[in-house]
């Protein structure tokens, strides 16, 4: 039965009732102890500013293209010149939005977000875009990255969340902007950005304006495109392609883009950080058809494979890649090694992120659900298996076993297109504590033995940098080298903002008053 009770509302900053409409869906629980067996990126962001009222439709299709960046929740917020409307729910983009929900989102400015939680739990109160009321009007904010000084900054803000008290660094940024001095949104953003330490790509929408920001390191990708008078901002260029927008350029580190009826305006903020694009954008996260800092991801991955073949040759019969991110690298390895390439695995593409992975046994079962081997390809063969990373080793050990048992391979040689991951990430990737990383205190031979492989070879950091085509001082390699572009702590707690001892100022509504688990709840529906 539909819940018609309205969510309890609060006064926004400045004393006015926020003119925002919000719908929330059912809550998912976060992944079990141990977290995901593979790396997960923080999120994907989209921003659209056009001359028609279909900005939400374009945002919706663009979000599909970057679904790989976040599969826990999705949302779109739209400005119609006077007010803002939003649809935000747990789940994939295809589950969150229907035709009738999109029909409610009419306006010429929109931002979209898909999330994987690297700060804060995976629940409805942390869905983005984050919504805030300010004394200059409503705003919505989407964030990709991690703010390492979020706890200190939250102590300087007032909790005035419009939904249940959010426990993310993204909510802290929104609160800072909402309470900052300045007559315009651009003024407030310029005040806040220098205070943020960490990685952040932001999209901010008001009823009449779109603002986009990339941090001074350029740690996460953010690009600008245009189509028939419509401006588009996106985490990856593949989102531009999805809606027929022409890639214009990358938004530069420390650059703020503002788009309104007067056109596009660019402002640079001088920040102390060096340029440090995350190397994993090239290795794993970004789609192969994307371009990052003028480099084709597909081309870079092929080069990684070529360098890997030069560094770690092996007598073998064929090369296979672990779908999907390692396929380009595997073909590069095969070309350089002059070995045949073959599809040795079939991937079940209907298996998304597994939310329940509490035990090693279930993680191994999850690999069996996602992959199967092709014995007609690998039977009796000496196989080179190319993959992008080894985190705990659970996935690779299961794949090696799968090739031997189901695929009947005579030998399995594992080749990895990144260096050993020895240290956690603090800038937007869910890399576990050091003790959970198989390479943190084990050498390559020990890792090889634990995988059950005949040999193991990693791509050294120097070769990785060469394959990317950047210089080492333009990349973040901290999880490989323990040399980070900013000061960080060794232990990072993604739930830091949720710890009771850190929540003295938080104002939390009872869940039953804010979210109906079966039907959407409506805030300020008039």
Q: Taking a C-beta distance cutoff of 8 angstroms, is the pair 373, 354 a contact?
A: no
pLDDT of residue 154: 78
pLDDT of residue 432: 58
Residue 198's domain is classified under what CATH number? 3.60.20.10
Cα distances from 222 to residues 70, 189, 202, 293, 452, in angstroms, run 16, 17, 9, 9, 40
Place of tokens 């949104």: 185
Number of structural domains in the chain: 2
pLDDT of residue 350: 67
Q: 454 and 319 in one domain?
A: yes
Cα distances from 44 to residues 37, 136, 320, 325, in angstroms, run 21, 27, 29, 17
482: left (phi over 0), alpha (psi -120 to 50) or beta: left
Q: Which residue range(s) make up the domain with 213?
A: 20-24+42-276+504-514
Look up residue 64 and give its two tokens.
Answer: 């599909």
Within 13 Å and on the Cβ side, how many CA atoms surround 89? Answer: 21
Phi, psi of 77 (to 5 degrees): -120, 140
Q: 183 and 93 in one domain?
A: yes
Q: Catalytic residue among 43, 238, 425, 476, which?
A: 43
Q: What is the average pLDDT score of the chain?
A: 82
What is the 8-class DSSP label of residue 36?
-
What is the 8-class DSSP label of residue 20?
E
How many Å apart are CA 171 and CA 152, to the nearest integer?
13
Place of tokens 């989209």: 46
How many Å apart are CA 382 and CA 413, to the nearest integer?
8
Q: 424 and 313 in one domain?
A: yes
Q: 347 and 212 in one domain?
A: no
Residue 9 lies in a domain: no
Q: 172 and 143 in one domain?
A: yes
Residue 184 lies in a domain: yes
Q: 222 and 134 in one domain?
A: yes
pLDDT of residue 238: 97
pLDDT of residue 59: 97
Residue 11 lies in a domain: no
How many Å apart are CA 93 and CA 80, to the nearest integer?
22
Q: 322 and 245 in one domain?
A: no
pLDDT of residue 158: 57
Which residue stretches of the chain have pLDDT < 70?
1-42, 117-125, 157-167, 350-368, 430, 432, 488-526
The CA-based dihedral angle spanning residues 332, 336, 338, 339, taken in that order and rounded to the nearest 10 degrees: -40
How many Å apart are CA 508 and CA 496, to the nearest integer?
16
What's this model's pTM, rounded to 2 decimal places? 0.81
114 given a catalytic annotation: no
How many Å apart are CA 177 and CA 53, to the nearest integer?
27
Let me know the angle formed at the C-alpha of 495 by 215 and 505, rounded to the nearest 5 degrees. Answer: 90
Reduce the secondary structure of 195-257 to three states and give it as a string: HCCEEEEEEEEECCEEEEEECCCCCCCCEEEEECCEEEEECCHHHHHHCCCEEEEECCCCEEE
Residue 138: helix, strand or coil by DSSP?
strand
Cis omega before residue 324 (within 30°)? Answer: yes
Residue 355 lies in a domain: yes
How many Å apart are CA 148 and CA 511, to the nearest integer?
28
Residue 496 lies in a domain: no
Helix 169-179 to helix 185-192 angle (10° resolution) is 120
Element (H, E) at 65: helix 55-65
Let me know the angle formed at the C-alpha of 214 by 213 and 217, rounded to the nearest 5 degrees. Answer: 155
Place of tokens 């039907």: 519
How many Å apart are CA 35 and CA 359, to the nearest integer?
10
Phi, psi of 512 (to 5 degrees): -65, -20
CA 326 from chain center: how many Å? 18
Residue 460's domain is classified under what CATH number? 3.40.50.2020
């Amino acid at each position: 039965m539909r819940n018609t009770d309205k969510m309890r509302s609060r006064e926004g900053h400045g004393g006015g009732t926020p003119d925002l409409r919000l719908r929330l869906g059912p809550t998912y629980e976060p992944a079990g102890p141990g977290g995901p067996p593979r790396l997960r990126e923080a999120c994907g962001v989209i921003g659209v500013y056009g001359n028609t009222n279909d900005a939400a439709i374009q945002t919706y299709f663009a979000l599909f293209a970057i679904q790989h960046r976040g599969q826990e929740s999705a949302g779109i917020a739209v400005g119609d010149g006077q007010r803002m409307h939003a649809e935000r729910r747990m789940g994939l983009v295809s589950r969150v939005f229907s035709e009738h929900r999109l029909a409610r989102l009419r306006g010429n400015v929109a931002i979209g977000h898909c999330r994987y939680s690297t700060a804060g739990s995976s629940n409805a109160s942390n869905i983005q875009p984050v919504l805030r009321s300010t004394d200059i009007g409503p705003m919505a904010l989407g964030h990709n990255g991690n703010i390492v000084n979020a706890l200190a900054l939250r102590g300087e803000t007032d909790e005035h969340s419009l939904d249940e008290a959010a426990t993310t660094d993204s909510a802290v940024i929104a609160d800072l902007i909402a309470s900052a001095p300045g007559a315009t949104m651009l003024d407030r953003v310029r005040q806040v950005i220098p205070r943020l330490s960490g990685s952040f790509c932001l999209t901010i929408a008001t009823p009449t304006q779109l603002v986009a920001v990339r941090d001074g390191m350029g740690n996460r990708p953010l690009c600008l495109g245009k189509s028939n008078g419509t401006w588009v901002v996106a985490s990856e260029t593949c989102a531009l392609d999805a809606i027929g927008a022409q890639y214009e350029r990358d938004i530069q580190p420390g650059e703020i883009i503002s788009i309104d009826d007067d056109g596009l305006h660019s402002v640079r903020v001088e920040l102390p950080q060096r340029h440090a694009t995350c190397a994993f954008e090239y290795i794993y996260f970004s789609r192969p058809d994307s371009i990052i800092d003028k480099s084709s991801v597909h081309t870079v991955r092929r080069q990684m494979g070529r360098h890997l073949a030069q560094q770690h040759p092996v007598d073998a019969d064929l090369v296979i890649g672990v779908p999907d991110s390692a396929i380009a690298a595997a073909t590069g390895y095969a070309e350089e090694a002059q070995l045949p390439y073959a599809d040795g695995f079939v991937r079940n593409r209907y298996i998304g992120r597994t939310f329940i992975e509490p035990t090693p046994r279930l993680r191994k079962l999850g690999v069996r659900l996602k992959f199967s081997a092709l014995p007609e390809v690998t039977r009796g063969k000496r196989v080179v298996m190319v993959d992008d990373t080894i985190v705990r080793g659970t996935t690779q050990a299961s794949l090696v076993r799968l090739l031997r048992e189901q695929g009947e391979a005579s030998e399995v040689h594992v080749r990895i297109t990144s260096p050993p991951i020895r240290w956690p990430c603090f800038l937007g990737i869910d890399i576990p504590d050091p003790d959970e990383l198989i390479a943190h205190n084990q050498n390559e031979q020990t890792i090889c033995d634990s995988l059950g492989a005949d040999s193991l070879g990693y791509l050294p950091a120097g070769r990785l940098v060469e394959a990317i085509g950047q210089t080492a001082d333009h990349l973040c390699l901290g999880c490989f080298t323990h040399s980070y572009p900013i000061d960080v702590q060794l232990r990072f707690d993604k739930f830091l903002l949720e710890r009771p001892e850190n929540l003295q100022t938080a104002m939390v509504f009872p869940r039953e008053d804010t979210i109906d688990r079966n039907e959407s709840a409506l805030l300020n529906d008039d």
